[in-house]
Chain A
Amino acid sequence: MAKDQKGKKRGFISRLGDSQVWKSIIRTGVPRNRRGRMFSVLNSVFLHLHPVRMPRHAVRLKYTWCAGGLSFYIFCVLTITGILLMFYYRPTVEYAYTDIMDLSEQVPLGIMREIHRWAAHLMVITVWIHMFRVFMTGSYKPPREFNWMVGVILLVLTLLLSFTGYLLPWDQLAIWAITVGTNMARATPFLGHEGPGAALLSIGDINLVHAGSDVRFALLGGRFVGEAALLRFYVLHCIGFPFIIIIFMAIHFWRIRKDGGITTPV
């Protein structure tokens, strides 16, 4: 095995590439030429989102600032650090705040929480920068108008992730920020109990949309920011929104390719 037919010794990579284990995972073996490289991209679930060949301009940092790529990278960092935080954090009124203190002060290195928090701030920034670059390069124009809309949804989801995560430390800043933030939902047309049109939705004397049945209530699980709100935000933050944003990211990346790759700088 270590030698080829002519009895010459072969390099480790070369032998690895021909081994059964490797070939069972990556069918096309070690890519040795352009064709091989193309095949490995096409046949990998992770790589196949990428085009097999890319125009030189598409990887020019000056054009994209890699802001979209950075957003995705930071999202991955957030997912990993977030899962780690879940091992220590309990989303209850009794423990939430102390668990956060514990995370900063007792948990080894105390740094996971900071990484998650800083990365969260950074992701909001990079997503905005990405949107700005897409706008300034005119890349929202047809045929990319659909992907711009997908992008807007991604932006909203990014902000919602940020917003739901903000309540979890359960300190004064968090509680009142979420109180103020969710109060905006009161004014949602028809769906918020203080919003325009809400008064129209009534049967006789009975209001259908009130403080116990509007969108704000659905978000908080109560009439004020309390236990139920903490749990709901926790579930949305850790499972709900990440799940949705991953779906839209997949659409976003797929559409970039279907729209003919990223735009060409003029």
Chain B
Amino acid sequence: MFPMDKHKNIPNDVNNAEENEQISGQTDEISSDSANPKMDSVDEQNLDSKKPEVPKGEPEKNPAQKRASIGKGSIFVEPIKRRSFFSWLTLAWLAFTAATGTFFGIMLRFMFPNVLFEPKQTFKAGYPDDYSVGDVTTSLKEKYGVWIVRSTEEIYALSTVCTHLGCTPNWLKNENKFKCPCHGSGFRKTGINFEGPAPRPLERFKITLANDGQIFIDKTKKYAYEKGQWSDPESFLRV
């Protein structure tokens, strides 16, 4: 992986041996250069074509001795210096990579604040008797994104997020429906969609009674009609 590894494993490392052969081969070649008429003009092409020739000829001389000398060369000429240099370098690179990686993680986490200045996801919404039968209460819409609807038997909390693309519909009392201004989806008082592009009914939130008898709404739990969740006892409040 790192240059260091190569140098540690010299005796077994074929790649490395080849590299060294080329290098020493080249010095050989230079001495015989003038004897070889082909090599007289040194231009780029010649240098290129020269390289592959060298390793071919070289091993015939004395491959075993050569390999040994490579090992010797690497180990004895400047042994400790090189090794420690490469291991420090490896360590430095690893540390650098780790630090950079960590920083990217920090960057990602940075985008998700610990404190949100938004209305709470759970809140109390007064007593059941504050709501009269047949009414759609719109007073919590602005702050909490909830309509409280009371029918003859139950109270439920409808999400004000249009199931088409997320605009906020308006409750039209005279027409007895929720109407979305963005693309015209319409929903009945129950939240069931009946016109426009919305593909499914509005969602309902978890609604329970708190100990003090107030209605308690938890927006983190949603109930979807199309999944049959509206029969869940926490999706409505029996009154």
B118, B167, B220: the one contacting A180 at CB < 8 Å is B167
Smallest CB gap from A214: residue in B: B112
Smallest CB gap from B108: residue in A: A218
Assembled-state Cα–Cα distance A192/B182 (Å): 23
**In the assembled complex, which residues on chain A have CB atoms less than 8 Å from the CB atom of B118?**
222-224, 226
CB distance from A13 to the nearest CB of B (A): 41
| Interface residue? B165 (CB, 8 A) | yes
Assembled-state Cα–Cα distance A180/B182 (Å): 9
| Interface residue? A233 (CB, 8 A) | no
B111, B145, B166, B220: the one contacting A221 at CB < 8 Å is B111
Assembled-state Cα–Cα distance A213/B220 (Å): 13
Known pairs A223-B118, A227-B117; A180 contacts B165 (CB<8 A):
yes
Q: Which of B118, B166, B181 neighbours the largest number of chain A CB atoms within 10 Å of its CB?
A: B166
Q: Is the CB of B117 within 8 A of A183?
A: no
**In the assembled complex, which residues on chain A have CB atoms less than 8 Å from the CB atom of B220?**
210
**In the assembled complex, which residues on chain A have CB atoms less than 8 Å from the CB atom of B181?**
176
| Interface residue? B113 (CB, 8 A) | yes
Known pairs A179-B167, A183-B165; A217 contacts B117 (CB<8 A):
no
Smallest CB gap from A179: residue in B: B166
Smallest CB gap from A183: residue in B: B166
**In the assembled complex, which residues on chain A have CB atoms less than 8 Å from the CB atom of B112?**
212-213, 217-218
CB distance from B121 to the nearest CB of A (A): 8
Interface residues of A in 228-242 (CB under 8 A from B): 228
CB distance from A113 to the nearest CB of B (A): 26
Q: Is the CB of A176 within 8 A of B111?
A: no
13 A-B pairs with C-beta separation under 8 A? A176-B167, A176-B182, A179-B165, A179-B167, A183-B165, A212-B112, A213-B112, A221-B113, A222-B116, A223-B116, A223-B118, A224-B145, A227-B117
* A residues in contact (CB < 8 Å) with B: 176, 179-180, 183-184, 210, 212-213, 217-218, 221-224, 226-228
